[in-house]
């Protein structure tokens, strides 16, 4: 599917993965505030950083199988919606609801990462100007 939109697709995917990294580690500077606000231990607050990575690692292969079953575009949409749920963190009344939102973030990662490769393979020719093959 090589069209004039290949550059747009590349930029959107790059920005999505940059936002994925920011969403993953963006909570780290705020952990002391979370500890104070929710009255939890620092170890429990550390789950806010580690839980999405653990979920993404545990569901990476099932996420890839789901991508193959429902298609790349639907999987990316579902993954981005799951990641967008993180914006509700501001409204989280307690630690467990914030943890559930971080859990959804991990599920979103587990769909986005395995869907990126097939999407790039669909949109870019192996012999394009960005390729290292002659």
Q: Is the pLDDT of residue 124 over 90?
A: no
- Residue 36 covered by a domain: yes
Q: Indicate the average pLDDT of the chain.
A: 87
How far is it, in rounded angstroms, from Cα 49 to Cα 40? 15
Nearest-CA neighbor of 98 among 56, 54, 35, 21?
35
Percent pLDDT > 70 in the chain is 90
pLDDT score of 125 more than 80:
no
Whether residue 133 lies inside any domain: the answer is: no
In a domain, 69, yes or no: yes
> How many CA within 13 A on the CB side of residue 105?
29
In a domain? residue 33: yes
Residue 14's pLDDT band (boundaries 50, 70, 90)?
confident
User: Residue 16 pLDDT more than 70?
Assistant: yes
Confirm whether 14 is domain-assigned.
Answer: yes
Q: Is residue 49 domain-resident?
A: yes
Count of domains observed in the chain? 1
Q: What is the domain extent for residue 12?
A: 6-123
Q: Rounded distance, CA 77 to CA 112, Å?
A: 9
């Amino acid at each position: 599917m090589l069209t004039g939109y290949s550059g747009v697709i590349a930029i959107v995917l790059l920005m999505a993965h940059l936002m994925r990294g920011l969403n993953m580690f963006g909570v780290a500077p705020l952990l002391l505030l979370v500890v104070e606000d929710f009255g939890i231990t620092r170890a429990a607050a550390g789950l806010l950083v580690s839980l999405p990575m653990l979920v993404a690692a545990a569901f990476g292969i099932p996420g890839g199988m789901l991508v193959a079953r429902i298609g790349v575009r639907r999987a990316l949409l579902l993954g981005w919606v799951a990641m967008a749920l993180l914006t509700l963190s501001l409204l989280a009344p307690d630690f467990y609801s914030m943890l559930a939102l971080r859990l959804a973030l991990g599920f979103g990662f587990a769909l986005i990462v395995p869907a990126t490769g097939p999407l790039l393979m669909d949109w870019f020719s192996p012999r394009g100007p960005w390729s290292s093959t002659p």
